[in-house]
Amino acid sequence: MKTLFARIAATSAYWMGHYWAFILATLACVIWALSGPFFGFSDTWQLVINTGTTVLTFLAVFLIQNSQNRESKAVQLKLDELIRAVRDANDTLIDIEETTDDELDALKETYRATAQRVRPNGSTPPVDANGGRANAAM
């Protein structure tokens, strides 16, 4: 069931993000608006577009969240691999996204203190011509 949902979600997210989806949605709205005089701009006529857009928005929220969850997980795994591969990296940061907010705040304060030691006047590190740090002392 999980793999079926994953396939449906990925395919749906792809097609909902495709330019043809925008064109079809715009066309549906234009047809709906042009049909207004034919239906006398009735409550039922308004209910059709309201219900349709509400249902599609409701379903799209779940698809978007699923896509964001997958992308976030992939990015975290890539970052974990970079931390693992770099010799002097702090290995305790691997899988850090699973910690509590309090633990993250404490770690942030540790890094803030490190930055203060390196840059006591609060200045930003100098940048070289390529956009990278000129002094990688951190």
**Every domain of the chain and the residues it spans:** 2-89
Segment 79-96, tens digit of pLDDT: 999 999 999 888 888 888
Angle at 27 between CA 26 and CA 30, to 5 degrees: 90
Distance between CA atoms of residues 81 and 119, nearest Å: 29
The answer to whether 10 and 63 have CB atoms below 8 angstroms apart is: no
Mind spelling out the 3-state secondary structure of the chain? CHHHHHHHHHHHHHHHCCHHHHHHHHHHHHHHHHCCCCCCCCHHHHHHHHHHHHHHHHHHHHHHHHHHHHHHHHHHHHHHHHHHHCCCCCHHHCCHHHCCHHHHHHHHHHHHHHHHHHCCCCCCCCECCCCCECCCCC
43-85 vs 2-16: helix axis angle to the nearest 10? 110
CA atoms within 13 A on the CB side of 19: 0
**Tens of pLDDT, residue by residue, the chain (138 residues):** 888 888 888 898 889 889 999 999 999 999 999 999 999 999 999 999 999 999 999 999 998 898 899 999 999 999 999 999 999 888 888 888 888 999 999 999 998 988 888 886 766 666 666 655 555 544
Q: What is the pLDDT of residue 42?
A: 95
Structure tokens at 41: 């701009």
